[in-house]
């Protein structure tokens, strides 16, 4: 069976840097941080009091107030970014293409904010005071569900929930569905909104969050740096519109990049820690390279998972060396979480957007706060700032709790 070529024709994002992708990209390339003190709740008693919050987001500006009240924050992000995505791409869902247009989103935790609110109400007022909208608001698949309702897309409607790999698993699943002919267009990516009391408390209890830089939040996310002490939790959305090349050309769409490979793997190792030899991460990268039909030396850029945690940064570096050998030293590696924080289930979505823009704009985002390189992290992480480099192929990595790994390969689009 001949495989269709799948291209990215739309980009959208709501991030700690800006509420649109144009300004997010400008600030990212400029090396600015979106990390600041938490304002969504009183975090004064917490060991970690900083986050990559989405600021100034007004759901009523993009949807009816009644509709917004019946959505958790993550779903509001999903709907708002999907509208921006269709505007950017110029794609219109019609009765003729609705059944061929899918929505596949990655969401790690779903409506944690909704769960917290109604659990408190249950304890204070009893079960008779629980809203009938509680369950529909908190379940993860309401993200793609509401996007489908708003856009009219009637193709496959799927949520991937694989912790921090959710976003890339969503894009990879979307690509796979298109290769099998189940969709001609897909709204895909990742969404998350878990900067909540329980979310921050839970990750703090795991000793996963940065606590050393509460007074200097912009310095807290420091992937590959010897003074890193954990990740910074973030929230937001990153979506891409995938179309078959034939359909994209037919309507004269702008094409940002082409997706050519996707790989996934499992560590079978530990609940939260990656395999210390990097084998699981490496297998996801190898699988993506095999799907793309290219050699490791063809890749010029990696948007790394790079969480700013001790084990992840060292293990990802080992895995890159396993896969790329001597070519690893020639790779240009970006750690964009240094500026956005870790968007959990949305991370792979927004980082797919960044990888597509890196190829399209021929600009590779730098890594901030890499001031004292870890001796075990000795590759080129673009610590000097963004660089103008033309690459043919780029890789995007995401790895999650439970040992779930995902890698995506994008190619610069050429007619």
Residues identified as active-site: 164, 305, 342
Q: How many helices (H) and strands (E) does the chain have?
A: 13, 12
Integer Rg of the chain from CA: 20
Paired with 238 in beta bridges are 13, 190
**Do strands 6-14 and 257-266 pair parallel, antiparallel, or not at all (unpaired)?**
antiparallel
The 3-state DSSP class for residue 163 equals helix
Between CA 24 and CA 26 the distance in angstroms is 6
> What's the order of all strands across the beta sheet hosting 332-334?
157-160, 101-106, 185-192, 236-244, 6-14, 257-266, 404-411, 393-400, 299-303, 332-334
400 touches 165 (CB < 8 A): yes
Q: Quick one: DSSP state of residue 220?
A: S
The 3-state DSSP class for residue 253 equals coil
Write phi, then psi, for 390 (nearest 5 degrees).
-90, 120
Between CA 180 and CA 285 the distance in angstroms is 22
Which among 51, 205, 193 is positioned nearest to 116, based on CA atoms?
193
């Amino acid at each position: 069976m001949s495989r269709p070529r799948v291209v990215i024709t739309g980009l959208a994002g709501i991030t700690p840097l800006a509420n649109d992708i144009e300004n997010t990209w400008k600030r990212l390339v400029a090396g600015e941080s979106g990390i600041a003190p938490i304002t969504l709740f009183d975090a004064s008693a917490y060991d970690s009091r900083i986050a990559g919050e989405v600021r100034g987001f007004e759901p009523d500006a993009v949807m009816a107030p009644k509709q917004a009240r019946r959505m958790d924050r993550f779903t509001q992000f999903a709907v708002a970014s999907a509208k921006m995505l269709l505007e950017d791409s110029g794609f219109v869902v019609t009765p003729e293409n609705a059944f061929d247009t899918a929505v596949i989103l990655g969401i790690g935790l779903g409506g944690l904010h909704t769960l917290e609110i109604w659990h408190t109400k249950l304890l204070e007022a009893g079960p008779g005071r629980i809203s009938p909208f509680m369950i529909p608001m908190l379940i993860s698949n309401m993200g793609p569900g509401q996007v489908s309702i708003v856009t009219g897309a009637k193709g496959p409607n799927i949520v991937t929930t694989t912790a921090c790999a959710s976003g890339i698993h969503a894009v990879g699943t979307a690509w796979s569905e298109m290769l099998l002919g189940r969709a001609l267009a897909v709204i895909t990516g990742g969404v998350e909104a878990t900067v909540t009391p329980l979310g921050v408390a839970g990750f703090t209890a795991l000793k996963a969050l940065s606590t050393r830089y509460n007074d200097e939040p912009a310095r807290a996310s420091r992937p590959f740096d010897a003074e890193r002490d954990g990740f910074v939790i973030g929230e937001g959305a990153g979506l891409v519109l995938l179309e078959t090349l034939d359909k994209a050309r037919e309507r004269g769409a702008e094409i940002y990049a082409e997706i050519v490979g996707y790989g996934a793997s499992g560590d079978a190792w530990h609940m939260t820690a990656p395999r210390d030899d990097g084998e699981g991460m490496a297998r996801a990268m190898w699988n993506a390279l095999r799907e793309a039909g290219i050699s490791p030396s063809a890749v010029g850029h990696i948007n790394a998972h790079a969480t700013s945690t001790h084990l992840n940064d060292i293990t990802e570096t080992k895995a890159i060396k396993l896969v790329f050998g001597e070519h690893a030293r020639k790779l240009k590696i970006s750690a964009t979480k240094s500026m956005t924080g870790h968007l959990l289930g949305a991370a792979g979505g927004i980082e797919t957007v960044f990888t597509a823009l890196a190829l399209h704009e021929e600009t590779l985002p730098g890594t901030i706060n890499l001031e004292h390189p870890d001796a075990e992290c000795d590759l080129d992480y673009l610590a000097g700032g963004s660089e103008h480099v033309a690459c043919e192929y780029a890789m995007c990595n995401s790895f999650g709790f439970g040992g779930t790994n995902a890698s995506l390969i994008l190619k610069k689009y050429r007619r």
